[in-house]
Amino acid sequence: MSSRLLSGIVCVGLVAVLAFLALAWRPAIAPIETPAPQSFAPELVAKGKMLASAGNCQSCHTVEGGQPFAGGVGIPTPFGTIYSTNITPDRTVGIGAWSLAAFERAMREGVGRDGKHLFPAFPYDHFARLTDDDVTALYAYLMTVAPVNAVQPANTVPFPLDIRALQAGWKMLFFRPGPSLPDPQRSAGWNRGAYLSEGLAHCGACHTPRNVLGAESRGLPYDGAVIKDGWIAWPLDVSPSPARWTKDSFIAYLKGETTENHGRALGPMGPVIHGLKALPGEDIAAIADYFMSFNRPLRPKADALAQQALERSRTIGQDRRERGRQLYVGACASCHDDGGTAPLATRARLPLTTALWHDRPNNFVLTVRNGVGAPDDAPGPPMPPFAASLSDSEIVAIADYLRHTRLGLPKWPAELYDEIASP
Ligand code: HEC
Ligand code: HEC
Ligand code: HEC
């Protein structure tokens, strides 16, 4: 009796596995002769180049100092490191034998030419929103870049999570296919901004927290998330800093300028800004329209808080946090405010920076350690990296001092620094 029950269960299990495999199966798409670069209209290629820049294809598919688009960049995930692939038109290891249909399927469904499911470390869940025209332009551009024969390192995703067919299950749970549909209630600018942000520029891939299975949490869009090396992609639904975003300051930030109230884009936001520079000004304004339609200050009475923070920075005298004050005056005050005179015109105002107002110290510590160098294109004297000259506990002392004297907030709890402790 029990052995019959057992074989019954085994049969049902087998049928379920076979049904899943049938659902997960995707056919290979036949290889093609690599199209000649001249076969694509120059305007189409130019458009594709602009889109590739705004979509950050190059920065995610090029290792530092490596050949463009040859892949090999490790994307850390809680399930292991996934390496970006070679998307140059090399026939054997790149996408040289891919037809437009194969490329389109990868972008829209996350399936490779050979039929294998791709991991969502490749943000196809965003690229699925692209128009046919934009996908065609991206294809044309990639087919004209120099082919490179380079193979990326093997992923470190452990068995059984490395079984790509399982991604079909992930897609059933979390992936919403299809292009984005315009909202007729909204302006053309807003719709353009939504299209760019949700699709090509995949802002949510960093700014939206992920669930335990690595999918963006639908209920918490743009609520902020720790991404790589401890950097936090700040919340964009609410602003931790009481300084209000205006459309103009948002545009300036996205153009890579230092904004008076929100500093400038540092860490992993730097390459994003660099990529967005290819877009025309109207597109940047459209992205700002989109975020301005829902972004609001996190704290009540934000304007008064911002005012107080600036006021405090002008009037601090002696402070109990003497160690923090001395370190700050010695290392920082020459460029930032010294608690008495006005800040340098080109410098971000520390009393308003999200790096101090957020409830975690990550980006403050990482900015002080790394400095703000040439790749960040900051005007004026660059901020030196303090990793060698300030110890972790000295950086904490400066943070405590600034939080207390400028923001009127308690210090960050000690355990919050663990995640970003010096190696
Ligand atoms: C956040 C990083 C990231 C960005 C941005 C990104 N990719 Fe990728 N891409 C990856 C990773 C990682 C893979 C490999 C996924 C896998 O192995 O399952 C990949 C795979 C691909 C593939 C499949 C190639 C193959 O051999 O299977 C194509 C095509 C592709 N990307 C095109 C693009 C284009 C076009 C853009 C820009 C619009 C882009 N990617 C932007 C990370 C990225
Ligand atoms: C690769 C990950 C990544 C992507 C993609 C990304 N961001 Fe960011 N973003 C970050 C990080 C990290 C920060 C924090 C930077 C800092 O501390 O200076 C940030 C900061 C910001 C800020 C500043 C918020 C504040 O309170 O100071 C804005 C605004 C912003 N991003 C907008 C965007 C928009 C719009 C997009 C899409 C066009 C986008 N980001 C795409 C990682 C990303
Ligand atoms: C030589 C000048 C210089 C010194 C010294 C300096 N900084 Fe900076 N700091 C900058 C520049 C430049 C930026 C980029 C933003 C800008 O252009 O204002 C910056 C940005 C920052 C930011 C990010 C602000 C934001 O919202 O983008 C923080 C936080 C910061 N500095 C803290 C410090 C601390 C703490 C010290 C001392 C340990 C320090 N800085 C010393 C020049 C300096």
pLDDT at 40: 98
Residues 6+ apart with CB under 8 A from 161: 79, 80
Residues 123 and 54 in one domain: yes
Q: Which of 3-17, 140-154, 245-259 shows the lowest per-residue confidence on average (mean pLDDT)?
A: 3-17
> Does residue 318 carry a pLDDT above 80?
no
* Among candidate residues 282, 297, 312, the one where a domain is terminated: 297
Residue 387 has pLDDT above 70, yes or no: yes
Across the range 25-52, mean pLDDT stands at 97
Cα–Cα distance for residue pair 66/267, rounded to 1 Å: 20
CA-closest residue to ligand 2 atom 18? 266
Residue 413's region, left for phi above 0, alpha for psi from -120 to 50, else beta, is beta
Mean pLDDT to the nearest integer, 368-385: 83
Is the predicted pLDDT of residue 342 greater than 70, yes or no?
no
DSSP-derived letter for residue 266 is -
Is 264 touching ligand 3 by the criterion CB < 6 Å? yes
Residue-range definition of the domain harbouring residue 289: 188-297
| Torsion of the alpha carbons at 252, 256, 259 and 264, rounded to the nearest 10 | 150
**Cβ 356 under 6 angstroms from ligand 2:** no
For the Cβ of 331 lying below 6 angstroms from any atom of ligand 3, the answer is yes
Cβ–ligand 3 distance for 386 under 6 Å, the answer: yes
Q: Which of 166, 271, 145 is nearest to 214 (CA)?
A: 166
CA 365 to chain centre: 19
Residues 369 and 401 in one domain: yes
**DSSP structural state of residue 414:** G
| Mean pLDDT estimate for the chain | 93
Dihedral angle, C-alpha 217, 223, 226, 232, nearest 10 °: 160
Output the pTM of the full model.
0.95
Give the pLDDT mean for 127-139: 98
| pLDDT band at residue 345 under the 50/70/90 scheme | low
- The answer to whether the bond into 300 is cis (omega within 30° of 0) is no
Q: Is residue 15 domain-resident?
A: no
Q: How many domains does the chain have?
A: 3
Of the listed ranges 18-22, 251-255, 265-269, the least confidently predicted one is 18-22
With respect to residue 28, please indicate whether it lies within any of the assigned structural domains.
Answer: yes
For residue 321, the model assigns a pLDDT of: 78
Tell me if 60 CB under 6 Å of ligand 2: no
- Which atom of ligand 1 lies nearest, measured to the CA of 95? 26
The reply to whether 5 falls in a domain is no
The alpha carbon of 10 and the centre of ligand 2 are apart by a number of angstroms equal to 50
pLDDT-derived band at 59 (thresholds 50, 70, 90) equals very high
246 exposed, middle or buried (CB, 10 Å; 0-12, 13-18, 19+)? middle
Determine the distance from the C-alpha atom of residue 181 to the mean position of all C-alpha atoms in its chain, rounded to a whole number. 23
User: What is the structure's pLDDT at 341?
Assistant: 62
Strand partners, 210: 216
Of 89-103, 267-281, 330-344, 348-362, the poorest mean pLDDT is in 330-344
Co-location of 72 and 149 in the same domain:
yes
| Residue 363 sits in the same domain as residue 260 | no
d(CA 204, CA 218): 10
> Are residues 254 and 375 part of one domain?
no
Average pLDDT score over residue span 211-223: 96
Q: Are residues 55 and 147 in the same domain?
A: yes
> Are both 81 and 148 inside the same structural domain?
yes
pLDDT, mean of residues 88-111: 98
Q: Is residue 282 located within the same domain as residue 375?
A: no
Q: How remote is the CA of residue 207 from the centroid of ligand 2, in Å?
A: 7
